Amino acid sequence: MSDAHTHSPAWEAAMAASGDGRGERGRPDWTDLLFLIVLSAGAAYALSAFSQYMDIYEKAILVCAVPATVWLGWLWRPLRTLLIASGLSALLAIWLYSAGQGLDQGDITRGESVFLLKYLFSSQSAILWMCALFVLATISYWVGIISQTAAWLGTALTWGAVYAGTTGLLVRWREGHLLGPDIGHIPVSNLYEVFVLFALITALFYLYYERRYATRALGGFVLLVVTSAVIFLLWYTFTRNAFEIQPLVPALKSWWMKIHVPANFIGYGTFSLAAMVGFAYLIKEHGETKSRRKLIPLFLLGAILCAEPFMFGSRELSPTWMLYFGIGALIVGTILALRAPIAKRLPSLEILDDIMYRAIAVGFAFFTVATILGALWAADAWGAYWQWDPKETWALIVWLNYAAWLHMRLMKGLRGTMAAYWALVGLVITSFAFLGVNMFLSGLHSYGEL
């Protein structure tokens, strides 16, 4: 059975309200040309000023990133605004670090004495702002179930968090080079950095679907997983000083990392988004039911998801994660108890199913590319494409899980309750591949352990 089907009036109405019809992007205009010129100028400056620090592959990545970014900005205009705002803020921070010596010079210690750096634009300050804004956005989205104004505020706060986090990562990239020529690297090399990346990617994909389907009712669901990542990030920051920039281990000194890790986390982010949309689907479906027994599997699955950070957070009974687990289980129980009024504000089941499918399809495509790139990186670093390392094995398990999900949908017409539960189970599997392997299993990827 193919995926083609007749869309409901509710789905068509959402498409019309979003102002972003399928395949109707309009012709590129002068702003797209200007964006191309600005990015091209920036890439040319980077190639002329820092070419000695880049090999041929890194130069190729930089050049190819220009048309790819312009294309993405044409597909989704808000992304272009985000990149311009974050880029300008990062340049301001770099200028403040340089103390008038030129953008290629700088003093990292100015981060503690310059007001704007200390409280706004240093990488750590910007990322902490990101964390605070994501938490506030989550609260606003849930309040928005009652008040539309609060829902709008949730969207604004989420954009603010994405802006702050993107700025933070860009500035962190520069800060590493200010610490020393052998320390600077793209900020996607350790758990601290990839947790920031995960939160940003998940939020960005949600914001895209929020606009495309003209609904803010899903924000509270998707931001729950982002807030969970934020809580782990804060715990990891203040208990392990994870924000400190460290030199790369030899295995990570490769241009492969610059494309493998982002592709991997687009997969992780979209899989997480699909799972939370699946949770919303089940809430919508059970919104009118009076049977509590049907909710028991959903509550247990939600409790397991809440317990994962509790297990990963420490090998001992940590008060922090015990509290997190208790609050998380309480939130899941409250959502289930209030499922009827929440369900009325959610989009139709067809729209939820469509978002879930499209998120998994995008994630699977990028995760497939990331897995192939990882194999090529492994061959370059260790002389073998595949060694059944625990991380590799669990990456394969994740891939097979979503390959089976898509196969069942496209060939057998998988829809509804089963698809939603499967997406939630997929989040459990993905979370273990992302973090659990680093905690409990050793191997070639042990440099990423807690």
Domain boundary among 146, 181, 208: 208
Model confidence pLDDT, tens digit, residues 128-181: 999 999 999 999 999 998 887 788 999 999 999 999 999 999 999 999 988 887
Residue 40 has pLDDT above 90, yes or no: yes
**How many separate domains does the chain show?**
3
Residue 32 has pLDDT above 70, yes or no: yes
Task: Give the pLDDT band (50/70/90) at residue 361.
Answer: very high
Q: Per mean pLDDT, which range of 99-108, 191-200, 278-287, 311-320 is the poorest?
A: 311-320
Structure tokens of 232? Answer: 């782990």
- Please state, in angstroms and rounded to a whole number, the distance separating the CA atoms of residues 381 and 256: 10
- Exposed/middle/buried for 287, CB within 10 Å: 0-12, 13-18, 19+? middle
443-448 contacts at long range (C-beta below 8 A, 24 or more positions apart): 443/389, 443/390, 443/391, 444/251, 444/378, 444/382, 444/387, 444/389, 444/391, 445/389, 445/390, 445/391, 447/249, 447/251, 447/252, 448/190, 448/191, 448/391
Report if residue 125 sits inside a domain.
yes
Residue 198 has pLDDT above 60, yes or no: yes
**Residue 34 is part of which domain span?**
29-75
Model confidence pLDDT, tens digit, residues 111-128: 898 999 999 999 999 999
Model confidence pLDDT, tens digit, residues 322-359: 777 778 778 888 888 888 889 999 999 999 999 999 99
- Please state, in angstroms and rounded to a whole number, the distance separating the CA atoms of residues 56 and 53: 10
Asked if 190 and 319 sit in the same domain, the reply is: no
Closest CA to 232 of 308, 170, 304, 158: 308
Cβ count within 10 A of residue 450: 14
Asked if 142 and 202 sit in the same domain, the reply is: yes
Asked if 388 and 308 sit in the same domain, the reply is: yes
Task: Give the pLDDT band (50/70/90) at residue 380.
Answer: confident
Report if residue 193 sits inside a domain.
yes
For the entire predicted model, the pTM comes to 0.89
Closest CA to 350 of 23, 2, 18, 12: 12
Task: Give the pLDDT band (50/70/90) at residue 24.
Answer: very low
Cβ count within 10 A of residue 372: 13
Residue 8 has pLDDT above 80, yes or no: no
Between the alpha carbon of residue 207 and those of residues 46, 152, 155, 156, the distances in Å are: 30, 12, 8, 10
- Exposed/middle/buried for 354, CB within 10 Å: 0-12, 13-18, 19+? buried
* Percentage of the chain lying above the pLDDT 90 cut: 49
- Please state, in angstroms and rounded to a whole number, the distance separating the CA atoms of residues 306 and 426: 14
Asked if 172 and 124 sit in the same domain, the reply is: yes
